[in-house]
Amino acid sequence: MFPFSPIHAASARPSDSDLSVLFFNKSHSCISDLSHLATDPTALPEQASQLGLSDKNRAVLTTASDGNGHFILAQCPEQPSAHAYRQLGASIYYALKPTSFNEVAIIWPDLTVEKSLEKSDCMHICQGFYGAGYQFATHLSDKPEILVRELTHVVQQRQVLMRQFDYAEAIVLGQHVTKDLMHEPPNVLTPDNFAKRIQKMTSLGLQVDVMDEAQLKAENMHALLSVGQGSSQPSRLVTIRWCGHSADCADPLALVGKGVCFDSGGINIKLSQLTDMKYDMGGAASIVGAMHAMARLKVPTNVVGIVALVENMPGGNAYRPSDIIGSRAGKSIEVLNTDAEGRLILADAIDYACDLKPRAIVDLATLTGAVIVGLGHEYAGLFCNQDALTDNIKRAAKDGGEKLWQLPLDPAYDRMMDSTIADVSNLSAPGSGAGSITAAQFLQRFARDIPWAHIDIAGTAWISAHNGVHAKGATGYGVATLVELAKQY
Ligand code: BES
Ligand code: ZN
Ligand code: ZN
* SS3 sequence of 249-265: CCCCEEEEEEEEEEECC
Ligand 1 lined by 121 (C-beta under 6 Å): no
Residue 325 β-bridge partners: 333
Q: Which residues participate in catalysis according to the annotation?
A: 270, 343
Tell me, which fold does domain 175-488 have in CATH? Answer: Aminopeptidase (3.40.630)
In this predicted model, which residue has the larger pLDDT, 68 or 391?
Answer: 391
CATH 3.40.630.10 residue ranges of the chain are 175-488
Residue nearest to atom 19 of ligand 1 (CA): 340
Residue nearest to atom 3 of ligand 1 (CA): 368
CATH 3.40.220.10 residue ranges of the chain are 9-156
What is the Cα–Cα distance from 431 to 202, expressed in whole angstroms? 47
Helix then strand then coil, % of the chain, to nearest 5: 35, 20, 45
Q: Which atom of ligand 1 is nearest to the CA of 260?
A: 1
Kindly indicate whether the domain formed by 9-156 is annotated with CATH number 3.40.220.10.
yes
Q: Is the pLDDT of residue 67 over 80?
A: no
Q: Is the pLDDT of residue 362 over 90?
A: yes
Q: Is the pLDDT of residue 40 over 90?
A: no
Ligand 1 lined by 282 (C-beta under 6 Å): no
Weakest-pLDDT range from 40-54, 64-78, 98-112? 64-78
CA proximity to 350, closest of 372, 321, 322, 329: 329
- Ligand nearest to the Cα of 367, by number: 1
Ligand 1 lined by 427 (C-beta under 6 Å): yes
Average pLDDT for 53-75:
86
In terms of pTM, does the model score above 0.85? yes
Predicted local distance difference test score (pLDDT) of residue 199: 98
Q: Return the best residue to mutate from 339, 413, 432, 441 for the ligand 1 pocket (most ligand atoms within 8 A of CB).
A: 339
Ligand 1 lined by 456 (C-beta under 6 Å): no
Contacts of residue 8, defined as CB under 8 A and 6 or more positions apart, other chains included, come to 152, 153
In which order are the strands placed within the sheet that holds 333-334?
Answer: 324-325, 333-334, 424-425
SS3 of residue 374 by DSSP: helix
Single-letter code of the amino acid located at 70: H
CA proximity to 57, closest of 27, 24, 83, 95: 95
Q: Is the pLDDT of residue 146 over 90?
A: no
Q: Is the pLDDT of residue 414 over 80?
A: yes
Question: pLDDT class for 98, splitting at 50, 70, 90?
Answer: very high
Q: What is the DSSP letter of 204?
A: G
Ligand 1 lined by 369 (C-beta under 6 Å): yes
Predicted local distance difference test score (pLDDT) of residue 37: 78
284 CA → ligand 2 middle, Å:
15
Contacts of residue 280, defined as CB under 8 A and 6 or more positions apart, other chains included, come to 258, 260, 261, 262, 263, 312, 342, 366
Ligand 1 lined by 337 (C-beta under 6 Å): yes
343 CA → ligand 3 middle, Å:
9
SS3 of residue 173 by DSSP: helix
Q: Which atom of ligand 1 is nearest to the CA of 459?
A: 8
Weakest-pLDDT range from 46-60, 256-270, 373-387, 419-433? 46-60
Residue 405 β-bridge partners: 381
